[in-house]
Amino acid sequence: MLDYLSCEPLHRAVKRLGRQELLRRLHAVQALSAVRGLRFLAGHNKPQTIELALVPWILSPAQVKFFHGAARLMVEALARLPALYARDPAIRRILPLTAAQASWILLAGQRHSRPLALLGRLDSNATFSHARWRETFQMLEPNTVGVGGIHYAPAAASIVLDVLGDAFERAFPGRRVVPMPDPRDLLLDELVSVSRRLGRRLRGVALIENTDFTTGTDEFESLARYFAGRGLKAVVADPRALRVGRRGLVANGQPVDLLYRDCELNEFLDMERHGRRLAALRQAIREGRLISGLLWEFDQKSCWEIFTDPTHARYFTTQQRWFFRRHLPWTRLVRQTQASDPSGARVALASYIRRHKNRLVLKPNTLYGGQGVVVGDCVLQSVWERTLNKALGGRSRYVVQERARIATERFPRLNGGSVCDVQRRVVSGFFVNSTGVGLIGRFSEDPVVNVSRGGGLLSALMLT
C-alpha cells in the first residue's frame, strides 16, 4: 500500500499551466468559493468569502486508514471522561464545571454513561507529503461541540476538483483523486443511528445556533439545504425558538425528531440568566435527542492534561497510552499547583510557565476560533505575565501547552491582478464519527492558524 504522496508531481503539473492559465484558475477558485458558500460573517452579518488554496492536500489510503484509527483512539479516550469525572476528585479539578453546568449535564439521566453520538473535530499539526508524516504529527485539541468546517470541507474539495481535474490526471496518471469522506454524511450517519436507537423514524432535524452572534462561520443554512436534498427535513433555529407541541418537538413551526447544536452549554446558561425559558431544549436533552450530547462538554482543552500526565495512565489502554506519549503535546490546566513538566520532573507550575515562555502557548480552556490564544515566543514577557496572572486569578480558565511545530507550505495565490507564491503556516482538522474520518486544512500568516483570524482553507483529497 502506498505510504504517502510527494507534492512535487502536482506542483509541477500546476506550474506547467503557465502564468495566464494559472491566473484564470485562481480567479475560478475565488468565484466558486463565493458561489458554493465558503463564507464567513466578519461583523454585523456581513459575509466575507474565505480564501481557498488552489493546491490541496492529497492523502494516500495508508494515511486515511492511520488517521481514522488515531481519531477513534482519541474519541474512545474522550468518551471515558464522564465516568472518570464521577469517580476521581483529581479529574474533577482538571475538568472544572460550575454547579449550573453540572445541573444541565444531569438532565441526560445518564450522568456517567457513554455519550450517545458524536460528530467531532480533532485539530492537529499533521501534514502529509513527507516520509515522516507518522512521527511528526500531534493532536492539539478536541472540538466535539459546534464543529466548524462541516460544509466548508466538501465545498472546498468540490471546487479544487473542478478547477484542477486535468492537473490531477497529469500528476497521477492511471489513479483517481477523490474527496475525503464528507463530514455532512458522517453527521447524517450519526443522526440516523441515534434515531434508530431511540426507536424513531428520522423525519426532521433542527440545526440550533445562537442568533445573538453576528460573526463567525456560516454553514448551517448550507447544511440544511444538503439534508433536504437527501430527503431529510432540516430547519435552522435558535434554541429559544424550540417548542413542545401536540406532535412533539417543534422548531420554527416544523416538527423535528433530533437537534444538532452549534451552541455550547454556556450559551444555554446565558440565555436562562437573561430570563429565557428553554423547556423544550431541556426535554430534548432528557430524551437523548441532542447531538452532540451534553456529556461531550467534558472535551475541554484541559482533558489533554489527563491524557499526558502519567498519574492518570491507569485509566487508559496500552494503545492509548502509547498514542498519548507520541502524539499529544504536554498540557496542564493553569493553577497554583505542583505538576510534572514535559520531562516528568515535578515543578511549581506557575513558575515553570513564567520561565519557559518561548516554548509554551496559553489557551482559554473552552473558547474556540483562536480567541485569547497567546504564543509565548511571539509576545513580550509583560503580555505573557499578564495573561498568566489572568489565568491564575481563576475567573478565566486557561491551559498551558508545549508549543507544537507548525509546518509551512507554499502555494500560488492571487495578488491583485497577478500570481505570487506564498508560504503559510498550516494546520489540519480531522472530522470523526463512529465510522469514518474527514479532513479540512487551514492556513495563515498568523501564528494562531484560524479562519476567524483571517486565515484560509486547504482542501483535502485522497488517492484511490
In a domain, 74, yes or no: no
Residues 118 and 205 in one domain: yes
Of 238, 205, 207, 210, residue with least CA distance to 220 = 207
Collapsing DSSP to helix, strand or coil, 345 comes out as coil
Residues 155 and 16 in one domain: yes
Residues 335 and 445 in one domain: no
Nine-digit cell string for 292: 452532540
CB 214 within 8 A of CB 46: no
In a domain, 183, yes or no: yes
Residues 185 and 275 in one domain: yes
Domain of residue 362, residue span:
330-402
In a domain, 241, yes or no: yes
Residues 159 and 238 in one domain: yes
Residues 226 and 344 in one domain: no
Query: Which among 385, 402, 419 is the end of a domain?
Result: 402
CA torsion, ordered 374, 377, 379, 383, to nearest 10 deg: 70
What pLDDT, on the 0 to 100 scale, is given for residue 109? 63
The amino acid at 427 = V
Of 31, 28, 49, 127, residue with least CA distance to 451 = 49
Structural domains in the chain (count): 2
Which residues are bridge partners to 403 per DSSP? none
In a domain, 305, yes or no: no
Question: What is the rounded distance in angstroms from the CA atom of residue 148 to the CA atom of residue 327?
Answer: 23
Q: Residue with C-alpha cell 513527507?
A: 130
Residues 128 and 261 in one domain: yes
Query: Which among 375, 402, 429 is the end of a domain?
Result: 402
Residues 365 and 438 in one domain: no
Residues 242 and 342 in one domain: no
What pLDDT, on the 0 to 100 scale, is given for residue 112? 41
CB 461 within 8 A of CB 160: yes
Of 155, 282, 325, residue with least CA distance to 225 = 155
Query: Which among 402, 417, 438 is the end of a domain?
Result: 402
Residues 286 and 390 in one domain: no
CB 206 within 8 A of CB 259: yes
CB 405 within 8 A of CB 125: yes
Question: What is the rounded distance in angstroms from the CA atom of residue 414 to the CA atom of residue 422?
Answer: 10
In a domain, 314, yes or no: no
Collapsing DSSP to helix, strand or coil, 192 comes out as helix
Residues 235 and 214 in one domain: yes
Question: What is the rounded distance in angstroms from the CA atom of residue 327 to the CA atom of residue 54?
Answer: 29
Cα angle value 284/289/290 (rounded, 5°)? 90
Residues 282 and 369 in one domain: no
What pLDDT, on the 0 to 100 scale, is given for residue 254? 92
In a domain, 87, yes or no: no
What pLDDT, on the 0 to 100 scale, is given for residue 176? 95
In a domain, 360, yes or no: yes
Nine-digit cell string for 187: 453527521
Residues in CB range of 51: below 8 A, 6 or more apart: 30, 33, 413, 456, 457
What pLDDT, on the 0 to 100 scale, is given for residue 449? 87
Nine-digit cell string for 263: 451552541
In a domain, 86, yes or no: no
Q: Residue with C-alpha cell 474556540?
A: 368
| Tens of pLDDT, residue by residue, the chain (464 residues) | 789 999 999 999 999 999 999 999 999 999 999 999 998 877 666 788 999 999 999 999 999 999 999 999 999 999 899 889 989 999 999 998 889 998 898 887 654 444 456 788 999 999 999 999 999 999 999 998 878 899 999 999 999 999 999 999 999 999 999 999 999 999 999 999 889 888 888 999 999 999 887 666 779 999 999 999 999 999 999 999 999 988 789 999 999 999 999 888 999 999 999 999 999 999 999 888 998 888 888 889 999 999 999 999 999 999 999 999 999 999 999 999 999 999 999 999 999 999 999 999 999 998 777 788 999 999 999 999 999 999 999 788 999 999 999 999 999 999 888 899 999 999 999 999 877 899 999 999 988 888 877 899 999 999 99
Residue 38 backbone phi and psi in degrees, to 5:
-85, 75
Of 242, 246, 279, residue with least CA distance to 258 = 242
